[in-house]
Structure 1
């Protein structure tokens, strides 16, 4: 009888020791499922191999100014290409309202660009920034706009909200933005290189108050449309700017 009891206890102890392994496998499987579900929520906006889903704001040919190299889109226009004063801002074919945008960006020395949302494409608006608020993309060291205040530097909601930290990588290196715009919760944010640096309202009285204190105060259509296209800015200088790995999650 004693031997049977001891044997039973051994079985119980063995079973208890094995259970965490089973639980661990279940946790791993659940984590994999969650990752797959999260990935399926994202839509690729730029896969590095084509211009599908994008066009120039003015309707001109993208390849007059931009090129595809090593999985990235690069803006590198020469001075000669700008003789007529035209710019080559590129925008999405589709419009978005509430979203999370993931994008990598790189600037060369002296470069200036930006990522805009809520852009209304219309002949009466000559540039995307006429209607779309901008998250700044900039060389904080050598571009003169960086001297006009921290709300003009990389990661800023341009001319309105400054980043709380400067975590920009040196020119020529890739940075990563996660930009969230949610009109349902009235929250916008910028995460740069995995660090939350900028938060702001996106509509209502708080938004209007910010705009009223900015250079956009008298711009009739600025920031008025909650739904619009996403734009990548050509600021006008013949400097290398790059974007890659662009994807979006609609909220």
Structure 2
């Protein structure tokens, strides 16, 4: 096709303008079922009570302490299967600084036995919740002996919590609704809470065993877009 001089100029200008705005593709999945990818908060090593056996990362007995990933993540998609003993309680933190206490700075995806754990009384403390902030929209928890599938999608200030294929909670950390929820929660007096847009993953030692398998994460491209809230 023959182009006029003006058309050629327009085409060149468009190419220049769009050169810097191409979408960034999502990164490959990375497995997290390896003890070399975890360490205790504020330490360089991992307590021996956190172990990997047959691809399953587990806290075998209480006292292992909270741990964080060696790597840090900004916009990401995370998947993991988890299970707890009867009455068990734990949590998965994200965008966490390497500082104690982790819960005072990072948002938590709640891991809980909703049938027997004491925390089940508070709706925003149940499995899949944005802990103490957004209650799960529905109960899709599997029986205690079964693994549950958790998924977190974080894109800028917008985050989604999924449980067993259902989106059970979502929030926008820059919204007025989020600010009101934080002000009415246990995090009201924590000035650093949920401020980071990049940080470590964290796993909680809540005094009981916790088991995680098929844990993987990938960084999302610059143009990631979670579903509408």
**Shared fold per TM-score greater than 0.5:** yes
The structural deviation recorded for 1:61 is: 4.5
Give the TM-score of the pair, scaled to structure 2: 0.79
Q: Does 1:229 align with 2:213?
A: no
Instruction: Report if aligned partners of 1:42, 1:247 keep a CA contact under 8 Å in 2.
Output: no
The structural deviation recorded for 1:234 is: 0.8
How do residues 1-251 of structure 1 correspond to structure 2 at under 5 angstroms?
41-47=27-33, 50-59=34-43, 61-78=45-62, 82=63, 88-122=65-99, 126-147=100-121, 149-183=122-156, 186-235=157-206, 237=207, 239-251=208-220
Partner residue, 1:20:
none
The structural deviation recorded for 1:55 is: 0.9
Q: 1:139 to 1:198 in 2, by over 3 A?
A: same
Larger strand percent: 2
Whole-angstrom CA distance in 2 between matches of 1:88 and 1:42: 30
Instruction: Report if aligned partners of 2:91, 2:108 keep a CA contact under 8 Å in 1.
Output: yes
Per-residue CA distance 1:206-248 (angstroms, 9 max, x = gap): 332221111101112111111111101111x2x2210111111
Partner residue, 2:10:
none
- What runs of 5+ residues in structure 1 fail to find an aligned partner? 1-37
- What runs of 5+ residues in structure 2 fail to find an aligned partner? 1-24, 221-229
SS of the equivalent of 1:129 reads: helix
Per-residue CA distance 1:84-127 (angstroms, 9 max, x = gap): xxx521111121111111111111112111111121113xxx22
Whole-angstrom CA distance in 1 between matches of 2:186 and 2:163: 25
Larger helix percent: 1
Instruction: Report if aligned partners of 1:136, 1:152 keep a CA contact under 8 Å in 2.
Output: yes
